Amino acid sequence: MSNERRQTSNTAARVLLVDDEPDILELLELALLRMGLEVDRADGVHAALDCLKHNDYDLCLTDMRMQDGEGLDIVRHITAQNLDLPIAVITAHGNMESAITALKAGAFDYLSKPVSLDQLRALVKSAIHVPKPAPGKTEQSSDERGLLGHAPAMQKVRDLIGRVARSQAPVHICGESGSGKELAARLIVEQSPRREQTFVPVNCGAIPENLMESEFFGYRKGAFTGAEQDRDGFFQAANGGTLFLDEVADLPLAMQVKLLRAIQEKKVRKVGATQEEAVDVRIISATHNDLAQRVQEGKFRQDLYYRLNVINLTMPPLRELRDDIPEIAQRLLLRLRGDSTVTFAPDALSTLGAYAFPGNVRELENIIERALALCDGVAIHVDDLQLTPSEDETTGTALAADGAVPLPDYLDQVERNEILKALGRTRFNRTAAARMLGVTFRTLRYRMERLGIKGADKDEG
């Protein structure tokens, strides 16, 4: 197919250019020829479909609105026929709607008019260098450090990752904390043409509001006190690569406006600069919040949501992969331990299988890591797991607060849950857990001892 040709031969890559305006067609053709590409021209949808029937291409670039149909028809044709061909659309200036529709239909990128040569070059570069995963590569990487789990929901995620990897379309990943959102983002990048380029993860919730603009877009020397030299922001750092906006729901509204502009225009302006600079960045975002609901509450801009959520990936919570839990646990144990000298006792595995995992795979990793430290070095038993009560049990306890159990027992239970939760989140680092809980290290150790939580005397790792 065309992609093999692309990778195995030294001949120029071949582009199908579709537009019914001769002037634009000519301008783009010239630019593409200058890049050393071969160009076929089609002056409408029918001519384009005819070319596709008879030739192999490495890239198709089409206008959206033509007299005999829509560029979207070509996108849909290529997607429906499963042609191994990246297609990009050219949209009228500011018409994000049609760009997004095209991305959703399978276009790998878009350009808006007037087409900037820099953007055209960047687009061509990523289209022509789209790598084809070696046979079995996806499976292999999922064995090594990819997503574990065989349930249909996880299979669906894996398939979607494979499909969206080759596109430049923004992806929004939602899912509970610890369910693998960042891992999924990294897997998308690993299989994408940008895999050799920088991956810049940004925790949007961790940046002070007054520094946001300079952190994202950089600043010029003298822009504010302390700006002693020019500095790049996340966008410049990710140029040519991928920007991963984690916890994107935490962005303040003012920053959302600026981000939207940067994404739409593919340009940013450093704080204190007069000129904008073009950036070529693929955006992957994630949140554990329901972003649509944040939009309804007026806390997240609808236009930005629409722009980020072109392709949606939902990570299933671990409790929905119940049948997979024992296998995932065993694989994680192997990864963490590095050999198979320690195994799970059967009762430990069945206990894990029944647990609710509010912290998802991250919590499972933490539980196993802690259990490895606490176990006898041969087998992990139920006691070594130190599980927090399951959701049902917690609900039971909550009801018991009405007087069904003595108040001190109830309070102990609540305290125990909170401590275990903090320990889980900090990979059993008691100093960090104490900080998280707002108590001193000594207090935490004392309370752990009192509540019989193992590991109070363990050396801090």
Ligand X SMILES: Nc1ncnc2c1ncn2[C@@H]1O[C@H](COP(=O)(O)OP(=O)(O)OP(=O)(O)O)[C@@H](O)[C@H]1O
- List contacts with ligand X (CB under 6 A): 147-149, 175, 177-183, 246, 288, 361-362, 365
Convert 80-114 to b/e letters by CB count within 10 Å (16 or more is b).
Answer: eeebbbbbbbbbeeeebebbbbbbebbbbbbbbee
Q: Which helix (H) or strand (E) covers residue 293, if one does?
A: helix 291-296
Residue 406 DSSP label:
-
- Closer to ligand X by CB, 147 or 387: give it: 147
Closer residue to ligand X, CB minimum distance, 72 or 147: 147
Q: Of the candidates 368, 373, 390, which has an alpha carbon nearest to the alpha carbon of residue 456?
A: 373
Nearer to ligand X, 71 or 424 (CB): 424
447 Cβ contact partners less than 8 Å away, ≥ 6 residues apart = 415, 419, 439
Backbone conformation region of residue 209, classed left if phi is above 0, alpha if psi is from -120 to 50, else beta: alpha
Q: Which of 320, 335, 326 is nearest to 155 (CA)?
A: 320
Q: How far is the CB of 179 from ligand X (least distance, A)?
A: 5
Q: Is 111 helix (H, G, I), strand (E, B) or coil?
A: strand
Shortest distance in whole angstroms from residue 427 CB to ligand X: 10
Q: Determine the residue with CB nearest ligand X.
A: 180
What is d(CA 406, CA 413) in angstroms, rounded to the nearest whole number? 11
CB of 205 or CB of 452, closer to ligand X: 205
Task: Report the residue number, 127 or 371, with the smaller CB distance to ligand X.
Answer: 371
The minimum distance between CB 388 and ligand X, in angstroms, equals 17
Residue corresponding to tokens 């001193």: 440
Output the six-digit token pair for 266.
């593919």
> How far is 459 from 449, CA to CA, in rounded Å?
15
The secondary structure of 53-104 as a DSSP string is HH---SEEEEESEETTEEHHHHHHHHHHTT-S--EEEEE-TT-HHHHHHHHH
Which one, 198 or 289, has the nearer CB to ligand X? 289
* Crossing angle between the packed helical segments 137-144 and 152-165, to the nearest 10 degrees: 120
Intra-chain end-to-end CA distance of the chain, in Å? 53
Cβ neighbours around 378 below 10 Å, total: 10
Backbone angles phi, psi at 365, to 5 degrees: -60, -45
* 14 vs 370, beta carbon nearer ligand X: 370
Cβ closest to ligand X, residue 268 vs residue 423: 423
Minimum Å gap between C-beta 24 and ligand X is: 43
Cα of 159 vs its chain's centroid, Å: 14
How far is residue 112's CA from residue 96's CA, in Å, rounded to a whole number? 9
Q: Residue 239 is encoded by which pair of tokens?
A: 């140029």
Q: Which two tokens stand for residue 152?
A: 């249909």
Nearer of residues 190 and 246 to ligand X, judged by Cβ: 246
Q: Which is nearer to ligand X, 177 or 236 (CB)?
A: 177
Identify which of residues 94 and 152 has a Cβ nearer to ligand X in the complex. Answer: 152
